[in-house]
Amino acid sequence: MDKHCVTLSQISDYIDSKQYGELIGESEAFYQSQIEEVKKKILGSIDAVKIIIIAGPSSSGKTTTTIKITEELKSEKDIRFVPLNIDNYFLDLDMQPKDINGDYDYETPQALDLPLIRMHLLALINGEEVSVPGYNFKTGKREGIIEKLRLKKNDIILIDSLHGMFPEMMEGIDDNKKFKLYIETLSQVKDKNFQFVRWADIRMLRRMVRDMQFRNHSPEKTLTHWHFVRRSELRYIISRLRDADVVVNSFLSYELPVMKKRLGHMFPEFIEKYRKDEERQDAYTRAVRISGIFDEIPEWENESVIPGNSLLREFIGGSVYKY
C-alpha cells in the first residue's frame, strides 16, 4: 500500500515536513499485515500442505518474506521447514542455454535441471530420501552431494525461487499439497506526468544496490544486464501470478529516496554514455526514466531509522537476518 503517497511529490512532502519516520512506520506496518494474512491462509490448509513456494521476479523480496513467514508459522504450529535450495539444481555450464550473443542465460528456468527437481520433490512428498546436489558457481558444475533429505511428519518443503511456480518444476504434484505465494513491488505511485513508477524499475534499483554491496557487481553491469532479466520475467515468471494462492506487495513507499542517495549520482553518467549507443538503448531508456524519478524526490541519508528487520535491509544491508 502506498498510504497517502499517490505521487512522488507527496513522498517529498513527508521528508520536507519531517514526517519521514511516520511514512517508514506505516509502510512497514502494512507489509507486516500482509505477512499476518499469509500466515492465516497457510494455517487454514496446513494439514494438507507439503510444499510452500515463494516466487516472484528478481529483487521482489522473496528471501526476507520467506524468513518472516516461517517465523510467524513456527510461533503457531509445531512445524519444521526444510529449505530446498533450487540454485543447487543448475545445469553444468556446458549444458546451460545461451542468449543470442552467446552469453549464458541464468535467468531462464531451462538453466535448471527441472526433471531432477521434480523427481526429488515427488520423492520427498512420498517419504523417500533424496541426495541434493551441490553446485559450484566458480566452476559452473555440480560437485557431489551437499546433503541428504527425508521429510518427517510435520516437515514442509520450503522453496524460495524465481521459477517456483514454473509448471515443469511442479508437474505431477497435487495442487492441494502446494501453497503458492507470489511477491511483487506493486507500487501505485505516479510521477509529475501522472505516469506510474514502474515496478521493474524499483526492483532494478534494489538489485543495483544489492549487487554492488554483496556480489561485487557494478550498478552499470546490472543496468546493462537488466533486459535479460526482464525478458525472462515476462516469459516465465510474471505470467504465473494468476496461479498464486496469495499475492504480497513488497513495495515500501519510503524506499526511493534511499535509493537516490545510493545511486542517484550515477544516472547522468549512464545517460551520457549510452545516449548514442544503438546496442544499449534499453539501458539508456531505463536510465532516463529513473533519473526523472530521482529529479522529483530528495535523498534520504539517515538509514539508521530503517528497522533492522525491514525487507529493504535485504538490499541495503544491516539486516538482523542472515541471507
Those residues whose C-beta lies under 8 Å from the C-beta of residue 309, and which sit 6 or more positions away, are 68, 319, 320, 321
DSSP letter string, 41-53? HHHTTTTT--EEE
DSSP letter string, 175-203? GGGEEEEEEE-----B-TTSPBPPHHHHH
Those residues whose C-beta lies under 8 Å from the C-beta of residue 185, and which sit 6 or more positions away, are 60, 61, 199, 202, 203, 249, 250, 251
Q: What is the pLDDT of residue 297?
A: 97
Query: Cell digits for 15?
Result: 521528508
- Taking residues 248-270, report their average pLDDT: 97
**Shortest CA distance to 165 belongs to which of 257, 84, 244, 276?**
244
121 band by pLDDT with thresholds 50, 70 and 90: very high
Q: What is the pLDDT of residue 99?
A: 65
Q: What is the pLDDT of residue 19?
A: 94
How far from each other are the two terminal CA atoms of the chain, in whole angstroms? Answer: 26
What is d(CA 313, CA 319) in angstroms, rounded to the nearest whole number?
A: 5
Higher pLDDT, 120 or 5: 120
**76-112 residue pLDDT tens:** 878 889 999 999 999 998 887 766 666 666 778 989 9
- Taking residues 229-242, report their average pLDDT: 90
**61-77 residue pLDDT tens:** 999 999 999 999 988 87
Query: Cell digits for 88?
Result: 543447487
**8-55 residue pLDDT tens:** 999 999 999 999 999 999 999 999 999 999 999 999 999 999 999 999
pLDDT above 60: residue 1: no
Is the CB of residue 130 less than 8 Å from the CB of residue 83? no
**178-223 residue pLDDT tens:** 999 999 999 999 999 999 999 999 999 999 999 998 888 899 999 9
- How far, in whole angstroms, is CA 130 from its chain's centroid? 27
Higher pLDDT, 264 or 75: 264
Provide the whole-model pTM. Answer: 0.91
pLDDT above 80: residue 58: yes
**Shortest CA distance to 310 belongs to which of 18, 35, 19?**
35
| φ and ψ of 31, to 5 deg | -60, -45
**131-183 residue pLDDT tens:** 999 999 888 899 999 999 999 988 999 999 999 999 999 999 999 999 999 99
**Coil, strand or helix: which one is 96?**
coil
